[in-house]
Amino acid sequence: MNDPQLESLLTAIAISSGLLTAPSSSTPTQRNSAFQALDQFQSYPGRIAACLDLLTRPTLLLHHHHATPLPLDVTTPTKLYALGILQEFLKRGYAASSEEDRLRLRSSILGAARGLAEATEEEAQSRILSMKIAALVADLAVREFPQRWGTFVQDLVGEGGIWSSGGGAGVGVKICLECLKLITEDCTDSDFNSKASVELCMMERFFISTTRRNDILLGLNETSHLLLHPIFSLLSNQYSSLLQSKATLQQMNAYLASQSRTPAQMTAEERAQYQHQIEIRDRSGAMVADALTTLEKFCQSMPLDWMFTVQNGIDYVSALLHLLQEEVANIHVLAVACLYQLTMRKLESEHWWRLVGTLPGALYEASVAVGRRAEERGLPHAHCVEMLVEQLEFHRAVSRMGSTLVSAHVAYITSDKEVGCGSGAKFDAVSTFLRLLSEMATHHSGVVCGEQINTWVGLLRDPAIIKTKVLTPHLSNVLMAYMKHLVKIRWSDVWDESHPYAALIEESWDSEEDYDEWLGNLRSKASLLFRSISYAEPEISVTIVHSKIQSLLNAHSTGEPRDQINPQNNELTPKSTACLEFEGVTQPLDNILQGLPSWSVDDGNYDAKRMKIRQTIKPLLAELANMIVAWNPHDVWLKFRRTLLLEALKHYWKYDPSTLPNGIDSLLVYLSATDNPPRESLSVDVVGLRKKVGVSIVAVAKVVPHLLVPWLAQLSDRAKTLLTNGRLSPTNEMHLYEFLSCVATAVENAVDRSNFIMDVLANAVRTLESPEVQNAISSVDGLLSFMGIAQVASDPGCVTNPTFVDKVTSDFSAMFSSLNQFLSVGKRCHEAARARPNGGLPLQNLPLVIDESSSNFPDEGPVSLNELAINDPFVPLWPKLLPTLIRVLDVTLGVWHPDRQATLLCNNIQRYALAISDDEAYLATKQENTTGGVFGEGGTAGSIVSGWDRRDRNLTPKWSGWFNELRNNCFQLLGLLSAQRVLYAPEISHLYPQLVSVVANPEHIRSMEHRHLNQYLKQFIEIMMLSCPATLYQSHLTAILVPLFENMKYRLQCSWDPILRNAASSTDSTKPLTSESCTDAVNKLSTGNVESWLLAYYARGGLFVGDLDSVTGEAAVEKARVELTRNFSDMIQSVLALKGGWALVLANKAKEEQAVKKNDPSKLTSGPRNQISQVDGPVNADGTSRTPVQLHLDARRLLRIDKMCHFLLLENELIAGHLVVTIVQCLEYPDAYSCRRCTRICHRILETVAWVDRYTDLIGNRLLSAAVKNIVTEPKWMIGIEWDMINIIRDIYGRLTLGQYFLPGGQGAGMQQARDSNSARFEQSRVVDKPLQGGGILVAPSDLPRRIFMQIGISQEDILTLEKCLEEKRSAKEQKDILRDVLRVAADKLKESEGLFNRDDDNGLLGRANLNESLLHRHARQPEITALPEKLVTYSMVRKAEEKVVEADGPWHGNLFG
């Protein structure tokens, strides 16, 4: 490159980097020209030699430019540009270079690195250059070292290498450290092999093959002694220099102090000397920090011997522990980071004990050093706020490192005999270390103790550690520390700095939102911690919580210090100190009482030690309960806190109910609380108190209903008094009914129970039987008039008429509250029935022995209401309730009929009755509920009916919510009707046709919106199918499922077709109906073209969104479409025993079979491997307790599972046809969630019906075509579920063509069936009628799968080869790999045929996955850095080979005779 070319290049670099900023030299034209020149240079053939020449020049100056009279230094940007070109060359062209060129390039780069180290001082620009050239050297090393560049380590750190250039303590050292760090990262990150996942590979600097990585690591390990020695020497020398400069500075400060001078009063000469020492300190500290950054990578990934071996005075662990004292350049934090990386690895026992034994001493020395620094700065002590702020990062890192050291190596504690016996050096070491952690947990910043909570929970849940009592001395500190940090910090005190630790808090969290999120996470984790401490050490727990609440009541019982007062009523607010303190103690009290072992509070006989503990605990608990019950605050928010404390006592009242009546009485008093002074309408605070009280009395009643039965008459009278005074809100009334129903379920006599429930709900029955309600539900017009909708046609202003609004609201609330009371009480009664000893089965004497082979159970059929009422007192109410419920649901669904929609949509106000609610619009935006919800900032209140929301005195925005509540309540009541088995009772048989005429009305079903159908499926259909006795499937399910499944097939097809046809043109057809676009829908309906209207109706999910903005409206449509597909697939999964309770039955059965097969009864009492079981006795497969009655329940469920598969797929052609076709269609809809679940359903279908000839075309043609299409077209939405789809193809091909069947779910190896005497047919499997054991095959092989494969371009020869391979290799992995290889060929052919229409560049949902994403082509991504052809041979390898030869030369019998 000649001088003019060089000048031109430098000019372009100067302009592009912004060094030439004069207007005459930085015009857009000149900048474009500069960028073009730089781009052209990158394709210049001699660019590599030119770049190497640029790197070797010490300075690069731009002369003779008109914009600057003086030469312009462009050294740094020019060298950065040259390094960038060289780095790109290494990636693209280096592999093809000759050996001579590679050696020349390497020599030039090393020379440039040495030159940079020798020619520059430490500056910001030189640091940038050093980092860039270090990356270049690292890139070169990973391609050459060690086979082709055996002198790499010597060139780096040896005599005359980069390290020693510039004196061995400057830029050269930084280049070497950065280079080693990068090499370590490149060779040890991700999965350590070339088959790493695409995501991880994309994150790396480049893709290195596994062999190449291993070679590099072997080379580094072989030369580790050459690397570690200079780094340790660097640490020693630089740290010594750092200490010397600090000592000199300290002496200078002492000298100035002796002369009563400050550093600001120094002379010029003194200031120069002072500044020189500061520069030495900072430079040495930065060098140590750089070394620690590299060592952190070594600690993370390199052999542990590098750090733990002590040899020739090199001891890295001791050095790291010593560096914990140094705060300059955050050295102490970096040292902790290195130790943390070590603690996260699997340490040898001696290494772990060394760290446990030495860390406390090292941290003590570090704290002494902090004290000295505080004293030097004139601060009172090391724990003052200023020092805590400075040390926060260090303290947090130490807490995290210490807790990880324990939690990652718990086995060393549990397996040590000294620790087990509670004495000895190792026990003392562990105890000292745990004391260190517990003391750190008391830090004034919560983030420090937050790092330890998982460790303490893990230790407390380990039975072996609990037995050692090594935790006992430290649990007091731990419990008090976490109780302290659960008290919420008032952030206004932090802002105005009135909090004593305001500076520390601001340093700990970025904002109040950050703190709130942290506190929420801490509280969720602390629940298990408190329960575990209470279970392990009940005496400590009760003593501490008793003392805490006693001190709080003494200090704040009347609200002292009465800060943060509400000026309107002079009462406390939630931010008052007293309220915050009581809030913080509520959770610990609840968790501690819940976690107490029964022996500590019951009246049983135990050993002397337990009896002594109980004698201490019980008086404290009695005093604690009396204090809370006797406390009578006057402020609303203190009443709220007392309510929570009373609710927590429910765990104690189980054992000592002496204070229970007074506690319940206090809660019932609060249920009718009012404002002081009284107001016309209750304040938000009082409403909140009432709601919480209602929830609390229900919670108490659920735990101790049997203890409240003696006071049932008084409670009933008290409830009637509260209900008749008219001051309770509907929500409070519902809570009161639930409370009474919970108590009633504990009554022993079944008749008394039922009578009491009927008495409780008498008002609700009267309301529903009233003429007003009966008239309202007699017709659709009656309901519209009842809700104030019909009146709008003649009087639009009535929706804002206060009198009319209040009347309509009151009438609707009365009707809805009555239905809701039935639902709430019914649910409580059903829960209590299931909790009875017979599990809710209508049999009072269950047999002790269960015949699992039996298919005849006396209760598996119609059961009378009288028998059901023995368990469930709500059952006798259904004959009265059900007719009303049917009419309510009928008229509610009738509002959405096309003719009604046409009428309502025409009216500018009535149309909003069909709209979604503000709450549904809010949920569609997927916002976090951290900004006040619907009515908060960014909420959607007032967006459906512009400017109005449901809190306003306007009926229009209320209608949508009312319809949602009414519809959902009806569906839930129908679900309850099914779950209680009343639906199948003989006494209800005369009402069943009426029910079917409503719930299976085709007009109702097709008129529902997607959101309505979602609730219909979840709240009624799924529960009905799961609760129906197996003998009643035909009589009770057929009439409902046929129209439902038929509509689901059509509805889902219409919903997804616009998306599948053309993603670009689907926008208009999937837009929701708005106030402005109502006319089109009305026109379609008015012309009688209902089918055309239905297509558009389903495409938009049926949604009318009123005045909602288009973005949120489209999000709501997308949510409705996806949720319907997912809910349908989830429902089918549940009824086919692929998820939920029925799936647990199969899992339990498999677990029992494994226990019998392996003769290991312990499997029956052990839960999942990822859980620590705290349940005594048998457990379910999910870790929950397995009760004796569950055996009876599971036997019936097994029968239903088997019968349900047969019923859905083989007994009714309409049900089976619609269901299977819908599932096949769902495989093609671009939603990975639904598709993955449908693949599981497809396996169950194949296991059940693959052997049936009628299904051959549906399975071998439609299902297989859909699965193959999903694989060979490689859509992006399929990423992650390709193996599931290939397994479907394998299952179909094996069963229909090859005579192979598989374990359930397409798992396991293919089980080949032999051919019968007629070689054209296979013998049927022995489990053909048992789909849960694998099912059957098609005995007459079908050619349909072969035709499908031929249609996608697979030749006949390839198909024969495929089948031969599948018959020879039958393991699941091998067969799926074979199919993947075949389908890859088809995908490549399809991709080639697409030509210009190739969708590689389409990033949309339906676009083709690229090579890095595609499962079929994942093998196509080759490593950018491949293995070298030269075989690596190291000295260690040679030595090991020689040792083996020596061993082989000896006699075979060894040295038997000495």
How do residues 139-163 score in pLDDT, each as one tens digit?
999 999 999 999 999 999 988 889 9
Residue 1453 pLDDT greater than 80, yes or no: no
Nearest to 91 by CA among 185, 14, 206, 196: 206
CA angle 580, 582, 585 (to 5 degrees): 110
Q: What is the pLDDT of residue 1360?
A: 94
> Side chain identity at 922, as an amino acid letter?
Y
Residue 695 pLDDT greater than 70, yes or no: yes
Using pLDDT thresholds of 50, 70 and 90, give the confidence band for residue 129.
Answer: confident
Mean pLDDT for the stretch of residues 714-737: 85
Burial of 4 (0-12, 13-18, 19+ CB in 10 A): exposed
Range of lowest pLDDT (121-135, 244-258, 1006-1020): 121-135
Using pLDDT thresholds of 50, 70 and 90, give the confidence band for residue 852.
Answer: low
Place of tokens 């200090």: 555
Residue 928 pLDDT greater than 70, yes or no: no
> Which whole-number Å values give the CA distances from 373 to 383, 445, 1335, in the listed order?
12, 21, 77
Q: What is the pLDDT of residue 206?
A: 64
Residue 568 pLDDT greater than 80, yes or no: yes
Burial of 531 (0-12, 13-18, 19+ CB in 10 A): buried
Kindly report whether the peptide bond that precedes residue 677 is cis, defined as omega within 30 degrees of 0. Answer: yes
Q: What is the pLDDT of residue 49?
A: 87
User: Could you give the CA distance from residue 1282 to residue 1383 in angstroms, rounded to a whole number?
Assistant: 11
Q: What is the pLDDT of residue 23?
A: 57
> Which residues 6+ apart lie within 8 Å of 1151 measured at CB?
1163, 1164, 1181
Residue 190 pLDDT greater than 70, yes or no: no
User: Could you give the CA distance from residue 1164 to residue 1175 in angstroms, rounded to a whole number?
Assistant: 12
User: Could you give the CA distance from residue 684 to residue 1164 in angstroms, rounded to a whole number?
Assistant: 52
Q: What is the pLDDT of residue 197?
A: 37
Q: What is the pLDDT of residue 1456?
A: 41
CA angle 265, 267, 272 (to 5 degrees): 115
Q: What is the pLDDT of residue 635?
A: 94
Place of tokens 């209590």: 832
Give the SS3 label for residue 341: helix
User: Could you give the CA distance from residue 893 to residue 1008 in angstroms, rounded to a whole number?
Assistant: 7
> Which residues 6+ apart lie within 8 Å of 293 measured at CB?
177, 181, 334
Q: What is the pLDDT of residue 911?
A: 94
Which tokens sit at 42?
Answer: 């990158």
Average pLDDT over the chain, rounded to whole?
Answer: 88
Q: What is the number of helices (H) and of strands (E) in the chain?
A: 67, 6
Mean pLDDT for the stretch of residues 602-621: 92
Q: What is the pLDDT of residue 700?
A: 95
User: Could you give the CA distance from residue 1073 to residue 1117 in angstroms, rounded to a whole number?
Assistant: 10
DSSP state of 986: G
Q: Contact, 1267 vs 1292, CB < 8 A?
A: yes
Residue 813 pLDDT greater than 90, yes or no: yes
Q: What is the pLDDT of residue 1391?
A: 81
83 membership: H or E segment, kind and range: helix 75-92
> Which residues 6+ apart lie within 8 Å of 1373 measured at CB?
none
Q: How far apart are the first and last CA of the chain?
A: 78
> Side chain identity at 555, as an amino acid letter?
A
Q: Output phi, psi for 1073, to 5 deg.
A: -75, 130
Nearest to 1264 by CA among 1303, 1290, 1299: 1290
> Which whole-number Å values give the CA distances from 929 to 520, 574, 765, 965, 1113, in the listed order?
13, 19, 37, 21, 19
The residues that bridge with 72 in the sheet, in sequence order, are 62
> According to the 3-state scheme, what is the secondary structure of 1359-1397?
HHHHHHHHHHCCCHHHHHHHHHHHHHHHHHHHHHHHHHH
The rounded Cα 1028 to chain-centroid distance in angstroms is 35
Place of tokens 């829960």: 831
> Which residues 6+ apart lie within 8 Å of 1269 measured at CB?
1228
Which tokens sit at 83?
Answer: 């390094």
Q: What percent of the chain has pLDDT over 70?
A: 92
Q: Contact, 1141 vs 1197, CB < 8 A?
A: yes
Residue 820 pLDDT greater than 60, yes or no: yes
Q: Contact, 1445 vs 1416, CB < 8 A?
A: no
Q: Is 499 left (phi over 0), alpha (psi -120 to 50) or beta?
A: beta
Mean pLDDT for the stretch of residues 1074-1092: 82
Q: What is the pLDDT of residue 200?
A: 34
Burial of 265 (0-12, 13-18, 19+ CB in 10 A): exposed
Q: What is the pLDDT of residue 199?
A: 37
Nearest to 660 by CA among 682, 635, 629, 686: 629
> Which residues 6+ apart lie within 8 Å of 323 measured at CB?
235, 239, 288, 292, 331, 332, 334, 335
Q: What is the pLDDT of residue 558?
A: 93
Q: What is the pLDDT of residue 848?
A: 59
The residues that bridge with 1179 in the sheet, in sequence order, are 1185
User: Could you give the CA distance from residue 203 to residue 190 in angstroms, rounded to a whole number?
Assistant: 9
Range of lowest pLDDT (431-435, 853-857, 951-955, 1126-1130): 853-857
> Which whole-number Å values give the CA distances from 810 to 514, 729, 771, in the listed order?
43, 11, 15
Beta strands at 1307-1312 and 1300-1303: parallel, antiparallel or unpaired? antiparallel
Residue 1394 pLDDT greater than 80, yes or no: no
Q: Read off the pLDDT of residues 933-975 as tens digits, 9 standing for 90 and up.
A: 788 777 888 899 998 999 899 999 999 999 999 999 999 999 9
Q: Read off the pLDDT of residues 996-1054 as tens digits, 9 standing for 90 and up.
A: 999 999 999 999 999 999 999 999 999 999 999 999 999 999 999 999 999 999 999 99
Residue 19 pLDDT greater than 80, yes or no: no
Range of lowest pLDDT (367-381, 589-603, 843-857): 843-857
Using pLDDT thresholds of 50, 70 and 90, give the confidence band for residue 1457.
Answer: very low
> Side chain identity at 270, as an amino acid letter?
E
Specify the higher pLDDT residue, 1362 or 1419.
1362
Using pLDDT thresholds of 50, 70 and 90, give the confidence band for residue 12.
Answer: confident
Kindly report whether the peptide bond that precedes residue 1043 is cis, defined as omega within 30 degrees of 0. Answer: no
Q: Residues 809-842, buried b or exposed e (16+ Cβ, 10 A)?
A: bebbebbbbbbbbbbbbbbbbbebbbeeebbbbb
Q: Contact, 846 vs 1192, CB < 8 A?
A: yes
Residue 304 pLDDT greater than 70, yes or no: yes
Residue 201 pLDDT greater than 70, yes or no: no
> Which residues 6+ apart lie within 8 Å of 494 measured at CB?
502, 505, 506
Q: Read off the pLDDT of residues 463-503 as tens digits, 9 standing for 90 and up.
A: 889 888 899 999 999 999 999 999 999 999 999 999 999 99
The residues that bridge with 945 in the sheet, in sequence order, are 948
Using pLDDT thresholds of 50, 70 and 90, give the confidence band for residue 793.
Answer: very high
Mean pLDDT for the stretch of residues 1164-1173: 68
Q: What is the pLDDT of residue 1454?
A: 46
Which tokens sit at 111?
Answer: 């020379």
Place of tokens 């959770």: 587
**pTM for the structure as a whole:** 0.85
User: Could you give the CA distance from residue 874 to residue 980 in angstroms, rounded to a whole number?
Assistant: 9
Q: Read off the pLDDT of residues 324-367 as tens digits, 9 standing for 90 and up.
A: 999 999 999 999 999 999 999 999 999 999 999 999 999 999 99
Q: What is the pLDDT of residue 730?
A: 85
The DSSP annotation for 200-219 comes to HHHHSSS-B-HHHHHHHHHH
Place of tokens 């029955």: 765
Q: What is the pLDDT of residue 855?
A: 65
Range of lowest pLDDT (290-304, 588-602, 921-935, 1314-1328): 921-935
Residue length of the chain: 1458
The rounded Cα 1401 to chain-centroid distance in angstroms is 32
Nearest to 635 by CA among 606, 676, 672: 676
Residue 269 pLDDT greater than 70, yes or no: yes
The DSSP annotation for 1222-1257 comes to HHHHHTTSS-HHHHHHHHHHHHHHHHHHTT-GGGHH
> Which residues 6+ apart lie within 8 Å of 92 measured at CB?
none
Q: Read off the pLDDT of residues 451-461 as tens digits, 9 standing for 90 and up.
A: 999 999 999 98
Q: What is the pLDDT of residue 1411?
A: 65
Give the SS3 label for residue 956: helix
Range of lowest pLDDT (520-524, 571-575, 834-838, 1424-1428): 1424-1428
Place of tokens 């209902």: 1090
Q: What percent of the chain has pLDDT over 90?
A: 62
Residue 1254 pLDDT greater than 60, yes or no: yes
Q: What is the pLDDT of residue 1319?
A: 72
Place of tokens 């404390």: 645
